[in-house]
Amino acid sequence: MNLKPETLRAIDEVITHYPVKRSAVLPLLHLIQEDVGFISGDAIEWVATKLELEPINVYEVVTFYPMLRQKPIGRRHIKVCRTLSCALMGGYKTCETLEQEFGTHRGEISPDGEVTIEFVECLASCGTAPVVMIDDDLHENVDVAKAKELARRIKAEAAGRAKPAASSE
Ligand code: FES
């Protein structure tokens, strides 16, 4: 397991909050997913060893909670709210637009590796529906035009990242 030093520190800290080590399984899985994007088989084994559990105990938790992913995701994580206010205000259309822009389907990594788009439940910004979260940033009133603009920005940033490597040849 290749975790960032700050994740390892947070893990050790979080374990101290629980009188019984094994109760820390869910927070640990969240910290790992935040760091590496998904929960691999190695991560399951690592958590089991860390909390003195059997891997099957950890695996059961991973499969029970839909927010825990067992597959890697794209470089950017796009979460489109599909709960009532957002759905009524066109969240599904927003999601379809983003899927078309990146040539991908929900839950998959786009062919350029740049994004994974997912539906999520209420992001607590119902008054500005439809809303979209890109990594840690909330975007409000994301209609089709704004979804296209966000996609354009992500692609421009990706192209910007690719440039220095190309020009150094
Ligand atoms: S319904 Fe989308 S933010 Fe609440």
pLDDT in tens, 137-161: 999 999 999 999 999 999 999 998 8
Percent of the chain with pLDDT over 90: 86
Q: How many domains does the chain have?
A: 2
Separation of CA 92 and ligand 1 centre (Å):
12
Question: What value does the mean pLDDT take over residues 72-101?
Answer: 96
pLDDT of residue 165: 53
Question: What value does the mean pLDDT take over residues 57-70?
Answer: 92
Q: Give the CATH number for residue 142.
A: 3.40.30.10
Q: Is residue 120 part of a domain?
A: yes
Is residue 160 within 8 Å of 107, Cβ to Cβ?
no
Is residue 111 within 8 Å of 103, Cβ to Cβ?
yes
Question: What value does the mean pLDDT take over residues 88-111?
Answer: 96
pLDDT of residue 167: 46
Q: How far apart are CA 59 and CA 32, in angstroms?
A: 14
Q: How far apart are CA 18 and CA 121, in angstroms?
A: 29
Identify whether residues 83 and 147 lie together within a single domain.
Answer: yes
pLDDT of residue 6: 97
Identify whether residues 57 and 81 lie together within a single domain.
Answer: no
Structure tokens at 58: 């950890």
How confident is residue 162, by pLDDT bands cut at 50, 70 and 90?
confident
Name the pTM for this structure.
Answer: 0.76
Write the burial class of residue 14 (CB in 10 Å: 0-12 exposed, 13-18 middle, 19+ buried).
Answer: middle
Question: Which residue ranges have their beta carbon within 6 Å of ligand 1?
Answer: 81, 83-86, 122-126, 129, 131
Q: Is residue 140 part of a domain?
A: yes
Range of the domain at 12: 5-64
Residues in CB range of 94: below 8 A, 6 or more apart: 80, 130, 132, 142, 143, 144, 146, 147
**Domain termination residue (choose one: 41, 64, 87):** 64
Identify whether residues 38 and 98 lie together within a single domain.
Answer: no
Q: Give the CATH number for residue 31.
A: 1.10.10
Identify whether residues 37 and 92 lie together within a single domain.
Answer: no
Q: Is residue 87 part of a domain?
A: yes
For the CA of 82, the nearest atom of ligand 1 = 2
